[in-house]
Chain A
């Protein structure tokens, strides 16, 4: 069993590497900036969010995630942040979380985080086994049968979203929000979190319609919003868009992100990739070491867990 997995790992690595080396113009540069004009998205109006966490409960049920540590109506999670700054993040057991930000001189704001489903996903670009895919509907999904748990995407993601599944010892993989792709989006249905929200914080629809609604709201209610739609341009645009009444950095958003997709930075780098072929043997060994190391770690972990259960 473990042998097959390792084989597949190597095969995937080599195939992925070769694909990049031989046809850089094809997969990697297939920019879909305007590629999926009818892609769907969600507009999140943070001025409406009251931090009830119903969306977290909805996600948990929809994705069959494990039982949470605390009930979903427990507001004490908002005080869990460490060092005052760090907040809860998405995990293998929670693809979306709501955090509270205390804003000087005004009411606290709540911000729901989940995968923003970038137009040009850095996770996709960084994945050397091609596990990720941006669907025409707008979702960034991944194939967990292909994922080898290398965690490149965790480093690449500008929003810190993909989480590593430590509990699945045999096949440690990445876990994240998939826009309810399998169960809803594919059939044109509203994502579970959007449907559940009592305050109608979120609107689901075509990204281009959402941008119109967002800018209309800013225009119609002067003084209510900051004049910016987060995700319209950040890292080349994201399917999920945000409106806020406070400057975005006060709600924990990274406002230093470039307007261009992250992939533009690596284009130069990718131009050198054909050289990979020259250093092929070395790379091969590297992959092998990586794979073996990862495997050992996984086995150990499963052992620990079993012991824990028995005692």
Chain B
């Protein structure tokens, strides 16, 4: 028991260390499973490497957080040439809770130039789906993630599709 606990802690330390290392060196993940929100849909298997290769730069998705040129005209006004920052994961800045005008105002108090911060669900779709629309990549709701059973129930689709018996 004690031993298992120790191993676990050592494991954790190792993991933490490797994370820190990975972080500072910006070891870029090849494939990322994005499943923090999964409920109506399964998580998304995101091919980070392929996407990186076809974009002009990391900032297309990561803002200026990784350094390098900024492509969003509005952000570029102030952030062209901004230093890279320690936080890279979208969920570190974009909340899992749905934002409201009220929470946006609170955020604005902390960071006066940013009064329109989308939440995580919004940030993902605005970024991913937005580019897919522009580039003619898949935009169907089940192209990036498949529907769960809960999802089918919610949308009255799949095995829960209307039978028409009511009419």
Cβ-closest chain A residue relative to B74? A220
B69 within 8 A of A: no
Q: Mark A198-238, 1 if CB is under 8 A from B, else 0.
A: 11100111100110010011001100000000000000000
A50's contact among B99, B116, B129, B167, by CB below 8 Å, is which? Answer: B129
Which chain B residues in 116-152 approach chain A with CB under 8 Å? 116, 118-119, 121-122, 125-126, 129, 133, 139, 141, 147
Q: Which residues of A contact B156 (CB under 8 A)?
A: 57, 60, 67-68, 71-72
Which chain A residues in 62-119 approach chain B with CB under 8 Å? 66-74
A43 to chain B, nearest CB (A): 8
What is the interface size of chain B, counting residues whose CB is below 8 A from a CB of the partner?
32
Cβ-closest chain A residue relative to B162? A67
A282 to B99, CA, bound (A): 56
A195 to B97, CA, bound (A): 9
B123 to chain A, nearest CB (A): 8
B155 within 8 A of A: yes
Taking a contact as CB atoms under 8 Å apart, the answer to whether A71 and B157 are in contact is: yes
B90 to chain A, nearest CB (A): 14
B88 within 8 A of A: no
A66 to B121, CA, bound (A): 28
B50 within 8 A of A: no
Taking a contact as CB atoms under 8 Å apart, the answer to whether B154 and A57 are in contact is: yes
Taking a contact as CB atoms under 8 Å apart, the answer to whether A199 and B98 are in contact is: no
B166's contact among A60, A67, A221, by CB below 8 Å, is which? Answer: A67
A156 within 8 A of B: no
B80 within 8 A of A: no
Q: Which residues of A contact B116 (CB under 8 A)?
A: 213, 216-217, 220
Could you list 17 A-B pairs, sorted by A, with CB under 8 Å?
A: A48-B126, A52-B141, A67-B156, A70-B162, A71-B157, A72-B154, A73-B157, A195-B98, A199-B122, A199-B129, A203-B100, A203-B101, A204-B98, A205-B101, A205-B102, A209-B104, A217-B116
Give residues in A with beta carbon < 8 Å to B: 43, 48, 50, 52, 54, 57-58, 60-61, 66-74, 190, 194-195, 197-200, 203-206, 209-210, 213, 216-217, 220-221
Closest 5 CB pairs of A and B: A205-B101, A200-B122, A209-B101, A71-B157, A72-B155
